Amino acid sequence: MRSQDRLVMKALRGERPWPPPIWMMRQAGRYLAEYREVRAKVPNFLEFCYETNLAVEVTLQPIRKFGFDASILFSDIFVIPDALGYPVRFEEGRGPVLEPLDKSLIDALRPERAAGHLDPVIATVKRLRAELPVETTLLGFCGAPWTVACYSVAGHTTQDQTAARTGAYRDPKLFGRWIDILIEASIDYLTRQLEAGADAVQIFDTWAGVLDEAGFKQWCLEPTRRIVEGVRKRVPNAMIIGFPKASAARLKTYIAETGISAVGLDWTVPFELAREIQTIVPVQGNLDPMRLVAGGTALDEGVDRILEELGDGPLVFNLGHGIVPQTSVEHVEQMIARVRAAKPR
């Protein structure tokens, strides 16, 4: 099967397969008992991401279990700083911890080592394309430079990323230098994923919504535009999904200025706006992950509303952010069944 004939790719090109194709952000994860069993084999999370055999296995688990229309590479947004030589580690119960940003750390980076360091991830992509069902879209991804850089100012996440915002104001030259390095590394990384067999890629900008207008333009729009442009110089017409979380009021500007192929919507985006956006690019989303936790009527109503409001345009059904660990497998099954039983429109 050709890449363009897969359902998710049809939707990303502006077609309207019905029922809409479906996948979930973080669909390979801790809500699955089989994932937890594999994860326990490698205590160090970053090492787990580089273990090709294990990364392939956990990426395939939700496809075998649920038959999603797309599979997203199991990895992490912090493999890029790790590959560059930026000190990063994961702590149980705390998540990613990076050394606080300073000039000496940036001076010590070795961008030339990144490609070799990321070879195991690219090997995972190649294996996945060979082992996935032929009809399943394979998605790659990276973290947007702003979101990745956020964690490197305070060394960890902070409320509303106050440390990152303050650091970017105080020393925009140093922060901008770090962003530039991340842009170039992201271009290479996404390009390699596409060349290895990914059908499309997604740029996750989880913390885009905390920026003011000038910051959004400088740290979200411009880096994303440069990544999209850089990838397409090497892979013409590459399909790239942008996901600037909590940025509803700026979505039209984001689409116009970045050149993305489709946009992911979080659960706060009003449907009226989402329908307008569908006339510009396809949309992906936007079920509240807490409806998936709740299940029952709340879940059914959430699914039905999205299908009703966005079903007349190009849509990839997804969550408005990643699935959370406490989600019941039965609720995932309920959601998929509800989407796939949607009446013809």
Task: Exactly one of 26, 127, 192, 250 is catalytic; name it.
Answer: 26
Task: Exactly one of 76, 171, 300, 304 is catalytic; name it.
Answer: 76
Counted domains in the chain: 1
**Distance of alpha carbon 79 from alpha carbon 152, whole angstroms:** 13
Q: What is the longest distance spanned by two Cα atoms in the chain? A: 59
- Residue 42 belongs to domain with CATH number: 3.20.20.210
Residue 345 falls inside a structural domain: no
Q: Where are the alpha helices (DSSP H) in 132-217?
A: 145-150, 162-170, 172-196, 213-215
5: annotated active-site residue: no
Reported pTM: 0.96
Contact (CB, 8 A) for 333 and 39: no
Residue 236 falls inside a structural domain: yes
- Residue span of the structural domain in which 53 resides: 3-340
Task: Exactly one of 151, 192, 254, 288 is catalytic; name it.
Answer: 151
Amino acid at 286: N
Nearest residue to 264 via CA among 4, 79, 5, 11: 11
Residue 320 is predicted with a pLDDT of 98
Residue 1 is predicted with a pLDDT of 77
Q: Which residue is associated with the tokens 């230098």?
A: 177
2: annotated active-site residue: no
CA angle 140, 142, 144 (to 5 degrees): 145
Q: Where are the alpha helices (DSSP H) in 132-171?
A: 145-150, 162-170
Contact (CB, 8 A) for 313 and 279: yes
DSSP state of 202: E
Report the 10 Å Cβ neighbour count for 270. 11
Nearest residue to 316 via CA among 2, 60, 9, 1: 9
Residue 11 falls inside a structural domain: yes
**pLDDT digit of tens for each residue in the chain (345 aa)?**
788 899 999 999 999 999 999 999 999 999 999 999 999 999 899 999 999 999 999 999 999 999 999 999 999 999 999 999 999 988 876 778 888 899 999 999 999 999 999 999 999 999 999 999 999 999 999 999 999 999 887 666 677 899 899 999 999 999 999 999 999 999 999 999 999 999 999 999 999 999 999 999 999 999 999 999 999 999 999 999 999 999 999 999 999 999 999 999 999 999 999 999 999 999 999 999 999 999 999 999 999 999 999 999 999 999 999 999 999 999 999 999 999 999 887
- Beta-bridged to residue 71, according to DSSP, are 138
160: annotated active-site residue: no
Contact (CB, 8 A) for 207 and 150: yes
Task: Exactly one of 2, 6, 13, 30 is catalytic; name it.
Answer: 30
Contact (CB, 8 A) for 220 and 211: yes
